[in-house]
Structure 1
Amino acid sequence: MGMSWSRVLLSGVSLLLAGCGEADWGVDQHGRQVAAAELEGRWLVINYWAEWCGPCRKEIPELNGLAEELQAQQVRVLGVNFDALQGEELRTAAEQLGIRFTVLASDPAPRLGLTPSQVLPVTWLIDPQGRVLEQLPGEQTGAGLKARLAELRRPAD
């Protein structure tokens, strides 16, 4: 009986949360809630990575630098583990690869309409309205991503 009561309470809470604008994005690699308000109206660079992927490992420092450099410009770099690692496993993997940006424990693909990629790493560029603008397969550089974002952000003549 106690179990079903808590389930009723939980579903009531999630209904309340769903009623307040966008739902949150789940938790990050540290178990912290990623609030929708943190990501709304920002450019998103979403990178899918895996521990066993060599180019992913090489790309991480580039993404770390990009995340730090562009944070003030309303750009957020987000990671997603291709193997859907969770909890302690996700935290450990992100730590071992030296990831300093937010890694989402929940895959945002259904939320954003991203199609599964056969290639890793893969990076998606999402505009502040939540529109998917580009899918960039393979290893990226911070400079290359920065240049691409600058082009996409330039107002059309």
Structure 2
Amino acid sequence: MGAQLQVVIRSVIGICACLILAGCGEDVGVDQSGRKVTAGSLEGQWLVINYWAEWCAPCRTEIPELNALAKQFKERSVTVLGVNFDGLQGEELRKASQALGIEFTVLEQDPAARYELPRSEVLPVTYIIDSQGQVRERLLGEQTAAGLTARLKTLQAGE
């Protein structure tokens, strides 16, 4: 009986390890430079997901604020992600991101289904997702780094 129990325990440990590794490698998609973004790289992070478009004047004004926020929180478990509202892909997305001076990660694939984000017809729109993957805020209109920092601190304090 002892030997059988050891075999079962080893099997369970092996299965758990495979599941953990598989979850880390799960693809969220690629960024504006074609680099893979994995679910594991975002796990446990607070996310600031911003939808933007080239034709949106407030989006253009907001991008330097989001760049500053991304730099400010780089080492503090907060990741800023962009999503092009018009669904640009590949080279078009890279060019648009570069032209607008976007320094944070822009996802080629829309993560709306993953985080159950409602489609917005207003731009810009920014979602704050907590470290458990739950939507905590939907912010319409142009945001500032200071305003987003304050919202993040308030939300994180209530966690």
> Secondary structure of 1:73's partner?
coil
Higher strand share: 2
**Counterpart position of 2:69:** 66
> What are the ranges of 5 or more consecutive residues in structure 1 without an aligned counterpart?
1-15
**Counterpart position of 1:124:** 127
> Does the alignment pair 1:136 with 2:159?
no
CA RMSD across the alignment:
1.7
2:23 to 21, 24, 29: 21
The one-letter amino acid of 1:21's match is G
The one-letter amino acid of 1:20's match is A
TM superposition score normalised by structure 2: 0.85
> What are the ranges of 5 or more consecutive residues in structure 2 without an aligned counterpart?
1-17
Q: Structure 1 residue 35: deviation in Å?
A: 1.4
Contact 2:84 2:106 in 1 (8 A): yes
Q: Structure 1 residue 136: deviation in Å?
A: 0.2
Q: Structure 1 residue 110: deviation in Å?
A: 0.7
Contact 2:23 2:40 in 1 (8 A): no
Determine which structure has more spread, i.e. the larger CA radius of gyration. Answer: 2
Residues 51-81 of structure 1, C-alpha deviations (whole Å, 9 max, x = no match): 0000000000000000001111110000000
2:51 to 38, 48, 52: 48
> Secondary structure of 1:115's partner?
coil
Percent of aligned pairs sharing the same letter: 63
Give the number of equivalent residue pairs: 141
How do 1:73-92 and structure 2 match up within 5 A? Answer: 73-92=76-95
